[in-house]
Structure 1
Amino acid sequence: MSTRLPAVTVVGSINLDIIATTDRLPTAGETIGGGVLQQQPGGKGANQAVAAARLVGSARMIGAVGDDAQGRLMLESLAAAGVDTSDVSVLDGDATGTALIVVDRDGENQIVVCPGANAGFSLEGVEFSAEETVLCQLEVGLPVVLEAARRSSGFFVLNAAPAIDLPGELLERCDLVIVNETEYELIPALAEAKLVSVTYGKDGSAMFEHGRRVAEAPASAATVANTIGAGDAFCAALVLALRAGLSYARALAVANAVGADAVSDPSSQPALAPLEEYISRVAGVGVNPR
């Protein structure tokens, strides 16, 4: 058995995405016909682990699925992407998490998440090495995220989505918090965080230290097919780029390029090029240095 550390260890959600694609999103109480239905692997945690594995060849997933056909499909999909699933729990009596998603022709979406097994797992028996990079989100129980923060001593990253009030202990432990502009506004405490990355869609992304903007990078051009997994791909790429030693601005540019490829792919777990290719691709892009 290899003792080589995974590039990223992700503690987070694993879902089956059930996606209906329509011309436009329904309003309250409205029924829209003519949709196209598909099912595919998803969940913010699994999406980030798969993105990391596709970018650099390795990732470790810590989470849970139900003891059902959907759970077996999720495990097979993660393993096929190169993700180590040895610490994914299979919970008897719980259904695998499910996300019900409606996507319009412009790639905008509405999502309802049914957590299932994501709400029922713990970190009992899971170990973290001192050098391990850990990435969490908030589609699993906050106690699990707090436990991961307490038990891991390496580089710790929180994708604070969905947005909730963050305990001071958790925020202080984060070496990096990643959010979109809406989440940044909904979590005022982030203005005091040591390092926060904020995405602005077509306006690119920026890095803040204790509320002070210290770097930014423009968005990469993209044809939007699906925005569901783009933020997750951005998270994985940003963490990997920073851990590779890139400056804040260059790491943001790389993550923007990965996110652009992700929105061009209809999958929640899009095909991606190796990280080195994105680093080369943004070499001439104008960015605001750190």
Structure 2
Amino acid sequence: MTLKEIAELANVSVSTVSKVINKKDDSISSETRERILHIVKKYHYSPYMDRTSDDLRPSLILGVLIGRSADYSFLTGIVKQARTRGYSTIVCASSSANEEMQNFKMLLSHHVDGIIWNKEKYSITDIPDDILPFSFKIFTLNSEKKPSAANPYFSYSELGYAASNSLIRKGHRCIGCLSLKKDYAAGAFVEGIRKCLFDHQISEDDDVVWRLTESCDSLWLQAHTGIICFDSAAVEKMATMTEYLHIMVPEEISVVGIDTEHMKIAGTQLSSIARPFEELGSFAADGLITAVESGKTAYEPFQKDFSVSCFDSIVPPKKTRRSHFVIMGTINVDTLMLVDKQPEPGETISVRQRVIMPGGKGLNQSLGVTKLGASAALISALGTDYDGRQMFQCLKSNSVCTDGVTLHDNLSTGHAYVFIQRNAESNISVFDGANSALTSKNIDQYENLFENVDYCLLQTELDQNLVLHAAELAHRHDVKVILKPCAVTSLLPELVQNTDILVPNVKEANELLPNVFSLEKKAKIFRKQGAKTVIITLGEKGCFLQDDKHEKYFPAARITPVDTTGAADAFISTLAFYLSIGKDIEEAIQYATCAAGLSTTRYGVPPALVNRETLELYYFKNQNDFRRTGE
């Protein structure tokens, strides 16, 4: 079947048939077009069948070789541009070098005029000359190689430069990039980010700039004011971590992504820079057709000016940085046993209910500050047993930095046995386990965790000499120390001198100063010993504050408790957080008493710790109660 035969069957000229086949038929009626196409389909006409040995007219068909991972918009660009210039396309997808070679031969058998070859990692290196027609044109693209005239791909480096520049123009200087893996494209992208940072005289340290999603922790994330997400996995990681840490996008951290024009984090449309696949496809089709028609193969490099599509998730960075805390304390598995009363010597009692959950003051206070939206780094020790693995995962899932948690193969994880009476009071027995293996050497090993920290939270469940070492290290880094004295009858004088805020409960204060009967005098003695501020918690009666400017009682929250375990941890972590964001000591205590009260409404500590939104909503609804004073 030839063009002439089709023209005779359709009762039209050969020129009309050619226009319809080559899609240059705007001036031809739809009736005539349909009649011609019906004959073409019926007789399976193909342009190359019309050739003779003397007829080297192009078939007007382009072949396209792609891998399974090719972007759909790349094909869209090829097809659109080919159609505009009167060409059809045959697309073949390959998943191996063998299949790619078979597809290459198949395209040649269809007498395509040229092939756009988008190479993959597995691609064959070269096509044998003996299977290629004379002067056959191939337009080769390879995303795994640097763009050039020989490889006219778009530049991931320029893409990264544009992404980081969009943040820098808004005033950001702490910029990081998240990606799922470190392949060529991600590496070139980060290379562009580093070049942009270098050009603007900003540090481009490798570990600061680039993290994989699996190793991104709260400390790394919150050390940045702007994050660039290279892929969808990075966007998912950002969404998860900002939710856990209660970080608002873009108010507290700006985010720009690649191809994220249809993605949101917490309702905020993400600013996006698109990879120009459709434009690249159009460029490739145009370049190949020009080469086919001119007989020349001097391809030009692909040029693209990248820009952000919108700035919904990019705003100038806040001048105030996020709060950071380092905590040294125990990690235990808590076994809670609900009883009617504590057993007397020689007495057997029934346990109404038994609950097992994470605990220990180190873990509790770390979770307390992260739930409020700050970052926490914990220095502690665990066994590598099942309990230890569970506790480690609990910390990680709550975005606590675990760099300072030492793991011991030959020690069991600490365990606490908590008897909770019907009146919500509790007694605790503790098996130290791996907690007792923490050493001063471990603390020195993690000294970097004390950098740029607001408060260091310490407790005397660990050896006091160890706690003193941490307090001294904190002060060397200008970090304030909050100390919870517990399970001791005396404090090292040097430890009190290195304490900024001392927070004993009334029982602990009585044990430390048994011959001093008024709270005012106890607080005054603690301050004389070196503590700058003293807060004595009084359970359901609230707390007492004494420092250079205050001597004041604060009421407790009007809440009926079910378990008072961990109320002190909730109090201290909340106190530290609100002091770190600039609240004065009185308002910080009011928030802390509220958080302590709310923490008693559930059994165990982690489930009872509240987030900032819940706490502040409760506080503002009941703030008049928290501002009552009395003795």
Structures share fold, TM-score greater than 0.5: yes
Q: Which moved more, 1:110-119 or 1:158-167?
A: 158-167
* Corresponding residue for residue 577 of structure 2: 240
* Corresponding residue for residue 511 of structure 2: 186
- 4+ long deviations beyond 6 Å: none
SS of the aligned residue for 1:49 comes to helix
Give the total of aligned pairs: 288
Computing the radius of gyration from Cα coordinates, the structure with the larger value is 2
* Structure 2 residue 627 is matched with structure 1 residue 286: yes
CA distance in 2 between partners of 1:30 and 1:175 (Å): 44
Tell me the alpha carbon deviations over residues 212-233 of structure 1, each in whole angstroms, 9 at most, x when there is no partner: 9623321101121111111111
1:196 maps to which of 530, 534, 538: 534
For 2:597, the aligned partner's letter is A
For 1:151, the aligned partner's letter is L
2:471 maps to which of 146, 149, 156: 149
Contact 1:184/1:190 (CA < 8 Å) preserved in 2? no
* Structure 2 residue 414 is matched with structure 1 residue 97: yes
Rate the CA distance shift 1:24–1:131 in 2: closer, same or farther, 3 A: closer
* Corresponding residue for residue 227 of structure 1: 564
* Corresponding residue for residue 433 of structure 2: 116
Matches within 5 A, 1:7-156: 7-122=324-439, 123-127=443-447, 128-129=450-451, 131-153=453-475, 154-156=479-481
SS of the aligned residue for 1:222 comes to coil
CA distance in 1 between partners of 2:357 and 2:551 (Å): 38
* Corresponding residue for residue 255 of structure 1: 592
CA distance in 2 between partners of 1:91 and 1:265 (Å): 32
SS of the aligned residue for 1:156 comes to strand
Task: Report the CA distance between 1:278 and its aligned residue.
Answer: 5.5
Tell me the alpha carbon deviations over residues 132-189 of structure 1, each in whole angstroms, 9 at most, x when there is no partner: 4110001112222111011112111111112331111111111111110111122235
CA distance in 2 between partners of 1:220 and 1:131 (Å): 30
SS of the aligned residue for 1:26 comes to coil
1:218 maps to which of 547, 552, 555: 555
CA distance in 1 between partners of 2:323 and 2:402 (Å): 12
Contact 1:230/1:262 (CA < 8 Å) preserved in 2? yes
CA distance in 2 between partners of 1:225 and 1:36 (Å): 13
Tell me the alpha carbon deviations over residues 83-107 of structure 1, each in whole angstroms, 9 at most, x when there is no partner: 1112111012111111111111221
Contact 2:562/2:602 (CA < 8 Å) preserved in 1? yes
Contact 1:47/1:232 (CA < 8 Å) preserved in 2? yes
Task: Report the CA distance between 1:283 and its aligned residue.
Answer: 4.0
Tell me the alpha carbon deviations over residues 181-218 of structure 1, each in whole angstroms, 9 at most, x when there is no partner: 111122235252321111111111121127x9623321
Contact 2:374/2:577 (CA < 8 Å) preserved in 1? no
Q: Which moved more, 1:162-171 or 1:198-207?
A: 162-171
Q: Which moved more, 1:67-76 or 1:189-198?
A: 189-198
Task: Report the CA distance between 1:49 and its aligned residue.
Answer: 0.8
Q: Which has the higher strand share?
A: 1
For 1:101, the aligned partner's letter is V
Task: Report the CA distance between 1:67 and its aligned residue.
Answer: 1.4
What is the aligned-residue RMSD (CA, Å)?
2.1
TM-score between both structures, scaled by the size of structure 2: 0.44
Contact 1:215/1:248 (CA < 8 Å) preserved in 2? no
* Runs of 5+ unmatched residues, structure 1: none
Q: Which has the higher helix share?
A: 2
Task: Report the CA distance between 1:46 and its aligned residue.
Answer: 0.8
Task: Report the CA distance between 1:249 and its aligned residue.
Answer: 2.0
1:159 maps to which of 467, 484, 494: 484
CA distance in 1 between partners of 2:532 and 2:433 (Å): 33
Rate the CA distance shift 1:124–1:92 in 2: closer, same or farther, 3 A: farther
Task: Report the CA distance between 1:235 and its aligned residue.
Answer: 0.9
CA distance in 2 between partners of 1:205 and 1:199 (Å): 4
Rate the CA distance shift 1:279–1:247 in 2: closer, same or farther, 3 A: farther
* Corresponding residue for residue 243 of structure 2: none
Task: Report the CA distance between 1:242 and its aligned residue.
Answer: 1.9
Matches within 5 A, 1:262-281: 262-269=599-606, 270-274=608-612, 276-277=616-617, 280-281=620-621
Rate the CA distance shift 1:244–1:214 in 2: closer, same or farther, 3 A: farther
For 1:208, the aligned partner's letter is Q
Identity of aligned residues (%): 28
Contact 1:6/1:60 (CA < 8 Å) preserved in 2? no
1:173 maps to which of 474, 480, 498: 498
CA distance in 2 between partners of 1:276 and 1:61 (Å): 26
CA distance in 1 between partners of 2:351 and 2:414 (Å): 26
Q: Which has the higher contact order (CA 8 A, sep 6+)?
A: 1
